[in-house]
């Protein structure tokens, strides 16, 4: 089951997605449309001081959705935007118990949204974050547990060591 062992990068250091997660960036959602969900998570990031320009970030998220849906399947979406002026990556998690239409690749309504934001000049770190996150959410038991939990701290514990 989980968590898998920490993987070492080429420098022999461990990469862990848990360092990008924050219990203050977890929100249970009861909205009806994809763009409402995106806006709610952008608002959450902005209220927590993560965004330099809320509107620019929101527009970048929407532009990314126009290229191809970030609904990757399994009831999960990973909207993301990389912009100049950011030092670090961050992840907001939205949990929608009922699911929402997202034009996902598999047509399944999205129940878990992992919104990633950060710098546009750290492609390797971004790909590591995306890869580790994708690996973590492929675990069906982890996805089910996230949907059941109401305590953000407990959700964060599901990602320790990944």
Q: How far apart are the first and last CA of the chain?
A: 12
Rounded mean pLDDT, 101-111: 94
Confidence band (pLDDT; 50, 70, 90) for 162?
Answer: confident
| pLDDT reported for residue 86 | 96
Residue in the block written with tokens 């126009």: 66
Question: Rounded to 5 degrees, what are φ and ψ at 139?
Answer: -75, 110
The answer, yes or no, to whether residue 138 has pLDDT greater than 50, is: yes
Residue in the block written with tokens 């990944």: 162
- Residues β-bridged to residue 90: 117
pTM: 0.90
Concatenate the DSSP letters of all residues of 99-126 into one string. EE----TT-PPEEEEEEEEEETT-HHHH
| pLDDT reported for residue 15 | 83
Confidence band (pLDDT; 50, 70, 90) for 105?
Answer: confident
Confidence band (pLDDT; 50, 70, 90) for 6?
Answer: very low
pLDDT tens, residue by residue, 9-42:
444 457 889 999 999 999 999 999 999 999 999 9
Query: Residues with catalytic annotation?
Result: 80
The answer, yes or no, to whether residue 8 has pLDDT greater than 60, is: no
Rounded mean pLDDT, 75-93: 96
Mean per-residue pLDDT over the chain, rounded: 91
The answer, yes or no, to whether residue 119 has pLDDT greater than 90, is: yes
CA–CA gap between residue 105 and residue 74 (Å, rounded): 9
Classify strands 110-119 and 90-100 as parallel, antiparallel or unpaired. antiparallel
**Residue 76 corresponds to which tokens in the numbers above?**
């999960």
């Amino acid at each position: 089951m989980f968590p898998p062992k920490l993987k070492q990068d080429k420098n022999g250091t461990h990469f862990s997605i848990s360092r990008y997660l924050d219990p203050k960036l977890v929100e249970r959602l009861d909205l009806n449309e994809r763009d409402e969900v995106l806006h709610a998570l952008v608002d959450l990031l902005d209220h927590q001081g993560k965004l330099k320009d809320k509107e620019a970030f929101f527009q970048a998220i929407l532009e990314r959705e126009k290229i191809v849906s970030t609904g990757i399947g399994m009831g999960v979406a990973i909207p993301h935007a990389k912009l100049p002026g950011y030092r670090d990556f961050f992840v907001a998690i939205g949990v929608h118990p009922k699911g929402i239409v997202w034009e996902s690749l598999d047509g399944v309504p999205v129940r878990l949204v992992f919104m990633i934001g950060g710098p546009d000049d750290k492609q390797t770190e971004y790909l590591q974050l995306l890869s580790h996150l994708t690996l973590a959410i492929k675990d069906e038991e982890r996805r089910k547990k996230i949907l059941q939990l109401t305590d953000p701290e407990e959700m964060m514990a599901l990602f320790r060591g990944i």
